[in-house]
Amino acid sequence: MVLYLFKLASSTLILLLIFLIPAYGFYKKLDIYSIFIEGAKEGLLVVVRIFPYVLGMFIAINMFRESGAMDFFVKVLTPVTGIFNFPTELLPLAIIRPLSGGASLGLVADYIKNYGVDSLLSRMASAMYGSTETTFYVLTVYFGAVGIKKIRHSLLAGLFADLIGIISSVIFCRIFFG
């Protein structure tokens, strides 16, 4: 019942906005179509401005995965993660999450499919996905869109936050579910 009410409220709100915004423009005697076209032009300029950064990020992610670098990092980090009782299966997610949201979501879906929805590993992967960010993607796209070139401190802060999210996901899932 509650879900139905939320769907009804959101549909009603969208419908109201569709009618109220043009009505307000007519009331203020604004050229709504010209304003809409100007907004669309600005949106297109933003897309054109950030496209090279997005393309570069996608190419870098694919190169990282296809070159075997991710497999190399997993092999190198496996002995270290064993000391801390960190599941080796989650290393690819921990490595790819700061780079790509789509690839990391695919990994989480694979964990859920292979290990089951209620498995500890799937819960850890889900918590890790939800408590970390696509740091490199965010810095590349958003900072590139506004022309910020010096990202060193933001990168370190973002990666540190990701590390804390990864570690916390494993620890708290072990406490609550393990």
Model confidence over 2-54: pLDDT tens digits? 778 888 888 899 999 889 988 998 899 888 889 989 989 988 988 888 788 77
Domain ranges of the chain: 49-177
Q: 119 or 82: whose pLDDT is higher?
A: 119
Question: In this predicted structure, what is the pLDDT of residue 63?
Answer: 86
Q: Locate the DSSP E strands across the chain.
A: none
pLDDT confidence bin for 64, thresholds 50/70/90: confident
Q: How far is CA 174 from CA 84, 85, 133, 135, in A?
A: 13, 10, 21, 25
Instruction: Name which of 78-82, 86-90, 145-149 the model is least confident about.
Output: 145-149
Average pLDDT of the chain, as a whole number:
89
CA separation for the pair 100, 98 (Å, rounded) = 6
Question: In this predicted structure, what is the pLDDT of residue 114?
Answer: 94
Closest by CA to 96, choosing from 67, 127, 134, is 134
- The single residue listed with the structure tokens 């304003």 is 35
Q: Report the pLDDT averaged over residues 145-149.
A: 82
CA separation for the pair 26, 176 (Å, rounded) = 56
Question: In this predicted structure, what is the pLDDT of residue 56?
Answer: 81
